[in-house]
Amino acid sequence: MNPDQLTAAVPLEPFQRWLETAVPAHIGEVTITHLSGGSSNLTFRVRDDANDWVLRRPPLGALLATANDMGREFRVQQALRDSEVPVAHTVALCEDDSVIGSPFYLMRFVTGTVYADADAVSALSPEQQLAASNHLIDVLARLHAVDFAAIGLADLGRPEGFLQRQIDRWTTQWERSKQRELPVIDELAARLARSVPAHTRCAIVHGDYSFNNTMWSNDDPTRMVAVLDWEMSTLGDPLTDLGMVAAYWTGAGEIMWRNRSPQPHRIGTGFPDVDHLIDRYERAAGHAVPDLDVYRVLAVFKLAIIIEGALARIRATRPDEDTTRTAETVEELAALALELADQSSVSSLHGS
């Protein structure tokens, strides 16, 4: 991010004026540096003479009314602060657009490592690789076990009919963004619609849980210090989180990371296979996870549609760019989802 973009994202003078009135702990001059984010929420490190914080705000530009909800991110992390789910401690929320041009919030800076790729875990022993994988799943089970009503999150979402709404939402998104007809997507939507389990659980759902959205202790690389990026959190069916973990861990992750450094779990001998993760979740949660194939198919279906949306944006804004590989990624993900459906033990996922 260049200096002009940084100034546009967090104008220093109005931000510092807000800080002086909203955060009593603030002392001295402020420095701001960009950490991450682009089309998703932007993340900045904010330091003064006494404090080290992180600021989160939506990306620059026009937004959907319900997208990039800073209040949601802040509220969920604040509510989970005293739970068994590690989160950064929130400091203050500003919902006044006049300060920096959008809502934003501050949280304490957490020191640690994000296991974003194979390089980030290269120093872990096989025993540490296994322990970190187990802890990743244990924390997910702890999140799903949180009594959301007891911590004030009973109105975070609408759990009734959540899974059907997910299928409907992503089917509609496909219709809005598709760049060509792809009958396999229509077939998957039909199979998923008839495969919604009759009874589902309700829990806090992270929405994009993986190694990439967690931070790990520098002193003990098997201990998570924070779950990050709560922008998609809601109340819903917790198996959508587990289904996405399984999708990233297996074929969908291979497809999506093929032009990048390998995913962290694809090196070494200690990272377990996906069946181990599912078994670990069942033991940590204290119950079986029936019909998980429905959630695994849904996860890959969703990823295909997300990439199609990216394809549509590229073609609209950079029409001269070669999008062949992006289009192929969508087709490969859709084919993988259909293969998972065909091979599933859930009969309603099979072709008619």
Residue ranges of the chain assigned to CATH 3.90.1200.10: 113-349
- What average pLDDT does this structure show over 332-340? 97
pLDDT band (50, 70, 90) for residue 284: very high
- Give whichever of 9-13, 84-88, 155-159 has the largest mean pLDDT: 84-88
Tens digits of residue pLDDT in 89-132: 999 999 999 999 999 999 999 999 999 999 999 999 999 999 99
pLDDT of residue 39: 57
Query: Average pLDDT over the chain, rounded to whole?
Result: 93
Q: Can you say whether the dihedral through the CA atoms of 167, 62, 259, 183 is positive or negative?
A: positive
- What average pLDDT does this structure show over 207-218? 95
CATH 3.40.50.1100 correct for 3-108: no
pLDDT band (50, 70, 90) for residue 5: confident
pTM attached to this predicted model: 0.93
- Give the other-Cβ count within 10 Å of 197's Cβ: 15
Give me the percent of the chain exceeding a pLDDT of 70: 97
3-state secondary structure of 44: strand
- List, as one string, the DSSP characters of 168-210: HHHHHHHHHH-SS--HHHHHHHHHHHTT--SS---EEE-SS-S
CB 108 within 8 A of CB 86: no
- Give the other-Cβ count within 10 Å of 289's Cβ: 17
- In single-letter form, the type of residue at position 9 comes to A
pLDDT band (50, 70, 90) for residue 68: low
Q: How far apart are CA 216 and CA 175, in angstroms?
A: 39
Q: What per-residue string of b and e applies to 88-125 under the rule 16 or more CB within 10 Å gives b? A: bebbbbbeeeebbebbbbbbebbebebbbbbebbeebe
Q: How far apart are CA 349 and CA 352, in angstroms?
A: 9
3-state secondary structure of 35: strand
Look at residue 213 and tell me whether its pLDDT is greater than 70: yes
Q: What is the CATH number of domain 113-349?
A: 3.90.1200.10
* Structure tokens, 29: 């001059």
The phi, psi pair for 47, rounded to 5°, reads: -130, 145
Task: Work out the end-to-end distance of the chain between its first and last CA atoms, rounded to an integer number of angstroms.
Answer: 51
Which segments within the chain are labelled E, that is strand? 31-36, 42-47, 52-57, 90-94, 104-108, 113-114, 203-205, 214-216, 224-227, 234-236
